[in-house]
């Protein structure tokens, strides 16, 4: 039962949702350590939205999954469709409620907007490029929810705008690649193009620290090079020739969401930023270990 619910909620990706909040808070406050209670509330709201969206997604896909992935929690009977629906709606309602109550109106509206976008994506909005665009908006919104953790957030901080744009572009490309996971016939060329597109924002990340100190610039550059090494090597080799390859590559890219947020934290060049970046990277082995039990895709 625990394993089935963990798969439904995609628990292996929980560290990345929490990391968005930490990175967003650091970016709009010049790398200052955020208030612990407000940060905890932001993370709680984010996790409710994220995992609620995952549950609703599987509920909406239950008929399709019964044909293509019968081992998933709902079609296998491990979790009932009704329970998944209740969990999904409860999570999407709890996220904005927590944000508004603990963080104020701005955070509440951001969280509510994310909930609406998530529900629209899960239930109706995945055709063509709409799906990837919605995913990008939701993930960028999660970073903005982190910014709302800070009272008097500096929304015009250039580094925040840069990370927001690159993060959205990265998730957009992941969403485009994800459309090839369950297709009857794999379009290897299109899948490969989406995969390469996802690596562009990772390669551009070091430019965000051009105005920071040399140590953070070197650290972020090294981090991004390490993050690019394995996926680039795969694409330069056999590439993505089967749907199994696409699913595996998706997991690789999803875990690298933590690289983006850790790089964002380090780009501030402050003690709080360094500590937060290390903590975010600590979620990488946790996410990697959890993926064996709770696959991210």
| Number of separate domains in the chain | 1
CATH of the domain at 151: 1.10.600
Please tell me the pTM assigned to this model. 0.92
- The answer as to whether 297 is a domain residue is no
Collect the ranges in the chain with pLDDT lower than 70.
Answer: 182-186, 209-212, 293-297
- The answer as to whether 178 is a domain residue is yes
Expressed as residue numbers, the domain containing 169 is 2-290
- The answer as to whether 296 is a domain residue is no
The pLDDT of residue 194: 92
The pLDDT of residue 11: 85
The pLDDT of residue 297: 59
The pLDDT of residue 41: 97
- The answer as to whether 295 is a domain residue is no
3-state SS, the chain, equals CHHHHHHHHCHHHHHHHHHHHHHHHHHCCCCCCCCHHHHHHHHHHHHHHHHHHHHHHHHHCHHHHHHHCCCCHHHHCCCCHHHHHHHHHHHHHHHHHHHHHHHCHHHHHHHHHHHHHHHHHHHCCCCCCHHHHHHHHHHHHHHHHHHCCCCCCCCCCHHHHHHHHHHHHHHHHHHHHHCCCCCCCCCHHHHHHHHHHHHHHHHHHHHHHCCCCHHHHHHHHHHHHHHHHHHHHHHHCCCCCCHHHHHHHHHHHHHCHHHHHHHHHHHCCCHHHHHHHHHHHHHHHHHHHHCCCCCCC
The pLDDT of residue 207: 83
The pLDDT of residue 196: 94
The pLDDT of residue 293: 66
The pLDDT of residue 180: 76
- The answer as to whether 281 is a domain residue is yes
The pLDDT of residue 285: 82
């Amino acid at each position: 039962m625990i394993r089935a619910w963990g798969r439904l909620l995609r628990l292996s990706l929980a560290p990345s949702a929490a990391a968005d909040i930490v990175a967003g808070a650091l970016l709009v406050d010049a790398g200052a350590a955020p208030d612990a209670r407000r940060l905890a509330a932001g993370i709680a709201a984010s996790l409710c939205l994220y995992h609620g969206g995952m549950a609703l997604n599987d509920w909406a896909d239950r008929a399709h999954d019964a044909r293509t992935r019968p081992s998933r929690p709902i079609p296998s009977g491990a979790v009932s469709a009704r329970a998944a629906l209740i969990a999904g709606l409860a999570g999407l309602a709890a996220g904005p409620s927590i944000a508004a109550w603990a963080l104020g109106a701005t955070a509440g509206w951001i969280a509510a907007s994310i909930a609406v976008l998530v529900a629209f994506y899960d239930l109706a909005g995945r055709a063509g490029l709409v799906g990837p665009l919605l995913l990008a908006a939701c993930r960028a919104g999660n970073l903005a929810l982190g910014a709302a953790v800070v009272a008097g957030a500096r929304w015009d901080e250039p580094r925040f705008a840069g990370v927001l744009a690159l993060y959205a572009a990265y998730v957009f490309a992941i969403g485009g690649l994800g459309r090839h996971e369950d297709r009857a016939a794999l379009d290897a060329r299109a899948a490969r193009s989406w995969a390469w597109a996802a690596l562009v924002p990772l390669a551009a990340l070091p430019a965000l620290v051009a105005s920071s100190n040399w140590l953070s610039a070197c650290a972020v550059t090294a981090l991004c090079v390490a993050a690019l090494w394995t996926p680039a090597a795969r694409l330069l080799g056999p590439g993505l020739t089967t749907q199994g390859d696409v699913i595996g590559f998706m997991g690789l890219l999803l875990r690298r969401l933590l690289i983006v947020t850790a790089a964002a934290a380090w780009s501030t060049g402050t003690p709080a930023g360094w500590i937060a970046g290390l903590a975010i990277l600590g979620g990488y082995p946790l996410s990697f270990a959890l993926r064996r039990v709770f696959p991210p895709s």
